[in-house]
A and B are shown apart, each in its own frame.
Chain A
């Protein structure tokens, strides 16, 4: 019992539990939406709502025959890779106290860089070279994303311009650049089969992401080793953040930039570096997505719409509590529900219901702190009854005085620039 108690006390465990509560709450409310829809649509009855919920929760496993299940599982994994990358990108920036809403732009610049390499070099006759070109394409994608991430980082660090504003502007600049650059390269445009505005895929140049036989396991799917790249990078970022002096500096700058300055850290350098790495990660996400031979890039309308993968990194990071390892699982989970959504038509629902549920889960992720607080409070009540081994209750107990009853105050305080408080010194920065 006391071991279990200790486990509950760990903040990591609490994050996991609160994320699971978010998911359950999101699914319940989503289910209510499905029931309401069934009341207003003659073609759907209430029974379909239950059936539909089962389909969504089944994810790829509700695809009918074994063949489709396998294909959809493979696709789920493939689509998760870019999502994990943008999720880790946002999470890393968050740890440094920055909101990287520029992931879509960085994703696009990664796409641009990697496709320029992969489509301009033809290795179809030299299979030995194709892996090298693939690696080069990923690296160039990463560099392009990094440069794009640097821009908001630089403005934030040097001129103290809010990174959100610069990120949004660079997003649209990236979207236009991509349309323009590929528009100037007619030799990359696929004019066959009555299509317009699409580029060739890496299938034509032989530089696609290796599959290493995964396509034999998940027959008919897009799967390739992209997911391994994404998982490896997520782990690397996790190690950097938790084990290295560089990660220590990044986290310090994020948690208290004045403290970081006092410690002698170069906070400007860290802000720029953090955004550059975040940009590189999102850029790799773009590269991994479009280096798949099955995915075509529609460049001629790219200027009009930002890629969903970029924005979906934000909820992935949020639901994963900014932990890169957790983001891996969150990425897979979001894709799991989406695939379930694709199967929804058999219950009469539109596939976007899955998006609604995902959106609800993310919405509830905003409440995860509330769930954590509830857990803290319940444990405190227990603590006074059961005199168990709970030295760590003390740690939770003390700050609650400030958090619980002064939430609103603290919130308001955090919006106020701390620069103007030279006298009091004792600001509550909850």
Chain B
């Protein structure tokens, strides 16, 4: 492997935005047929570097070599011509087109103006066979799962005969099973001679698939290591610049009174009206982190919607501090001590076209502190926003005035977490609170959540990350097909046992699992 020549070399790349060195003398060498991970915190310069490789930015200095020859990449078309393809974190698919249409879009072969779909279909099927990328070429994008959409994106690159494949945080949107499949696909691709650049900040995935790993920190190149010769701890230290605690340090919980009580809750799916949550009852006590674990799509989203008031439950009762809030508004819940870190930061958590400071008061703008006679007190809003930005280290181009859409996903998430944790609450509903964050930020948010717990708040955590579930929670409830199938103690259980509950192979009530 190490004898393979470099297919792409980026030498001494520097890119400056204003006074900010986004990339400072970075060298990246990609060998043919390897999986090369690019690791770095949110805002470390990974995206800038990849944008340079993909022709979206001009570097200020430095050169790019393809197969040892210097090349100039001025726009994405140049990159494509050189055989460089990219799967973006947010897919670039036409939702109402079929898989096949999306794959050939932009590279349509025609005879006399008519599409040669048959040949295209043959080629796509051959490719999906060869690399184990299972898709239905006739399915419409909006009907298929995220994993399948991603495979469509990969096929798009392969259809264009790309040699160098860039994956930008490909696992952020996938379920654990889909992640496993993707890892296998990446290995297949590499063994067929494709070279893969894998941008991520999930260390487990690097350890699993990558051959080598280059680390960036605050725009600087830290080093490249052989994954086989390193450890997770070493990588994270390179990335963050200090030792990172993987295990959350916390005292034993001292559960108090129940803050949130669910009684026989039933929720239907908001769109296709199938039952999504079946007869769920549990309580979340003060001073305790209760976690709902489960594979994505087993009703956690709908459960979260019902508890936070985004959707009305079908039947059953929700009590907050003994007060029946089943039919109460979102505003009522907020005012009565519920904080909510939503699952989907773009859809619910933020108004992307608003400034950061406007988003920081999204759920509090009507408080007397921030408004007088219906006029927003922008000076107070700014002070408050600057305070949160400082305290939670939210990084952005122009501080409080930044349009949130332009911020990186991790910093958007930090802004939401800052807003919700600072809001006075008895109950924190945190749904995937660390989605898309790097280990440093995860560590910080976990410790903040534990602090909230220690100060007596009840925390309901809904998470798909097994590691997070195991390390953060005091009590685990497993959700499977809309039901709570088990209650586990993270201190005595194992990931394997949790996994059995999650796939429905085991359940507490003794019913036979599948």
Contacts and interface: CB of A to CB of B under 8 A. Distances in A.
A423 B173 CA distance: 8
Interface residues of A, number: 59
28 contacts: A255-B352, A256-B351, A256-B352, A256-B353, A258-B347, A258-B348, A262-B363, A264-B329, A380-B57, A389-B19, A391-B19, A391-B397, A394-B18, A394-B406, A397-B57, A397-B406, A408-B94, A409-B93, A413-B95, A415-B96, A416-B142, A418-B347, A419-B270, A422-B269, A423-B297, A426-B172, A426-B344, A427-B346
A245 B397 contact: no
A427 B347 contact: yes
Given A397-B17, A399-B406, A427-B346, A255 B51 contact: no
Q: Nearest 8 A-B pairs (CB), nearest first?
A: A264-B331, A425-B344, A394-B397, A262-B348, A264-B330, A395-B397, A390-B18, A395-B406
Nearest to A423: B146
Contacts of A423: 145-146, 296-297
Contacts of B51: 401
Contacts of A422: 269-271, 301
Interface string B87-105: 0111011111100000000
Interface of A: 243-246, 248, 251-252, 255-256, 258-266, 380-381, 383-384, 387-402, 404-406, 408-409, 412-413, 415-416, 418-429
A255 B354 contact: yes
A405 B406 contact: no
B145 A393 contact: no
Contact of B90 (A256, A412, A428): A428
Interface string B254-295: 000000000000000111000000000000000000000000
Given A262-B342, A384-B59, A429-B346, 11 more contacts: A248-B358, A256-B351, A264-B363, A387-B18, A389-B18, A395-B403, A406-B92, A409-B94, A419-B271, A425-B345, A427-B347
Interface residues of B, number: 77
B340 A262 contact: yes
B346 A425 contact: yes
Contacts of A425: 173, 343-347
A246 B97 CA distance: 40
Interface string B394-427: 0011100011011111000000000000000000
B88 to A, nearest CB: 8
A413 B362 CA distance: 26
A418 B334 CA distance: 25
A394 B18 CA distance: 8
Contacts of B154: none
Interface in B337-380: 340, 342-354, 358, 362-363, 365-366, 371, 374-376, 378
B63 interface: no
A47 to B, nearest CB: 45
Given A244-B374, A416-B96, A391 B17 contact: yes
Given A245-B365, A262-B348, A416-B142, A393 B17 contact: yes
A390 B17 CA distance: 7
Given A264-B330, A401-B56, A424-B146, A392 B349 contact: no
Nearest to B147: A423
B244 interface: no
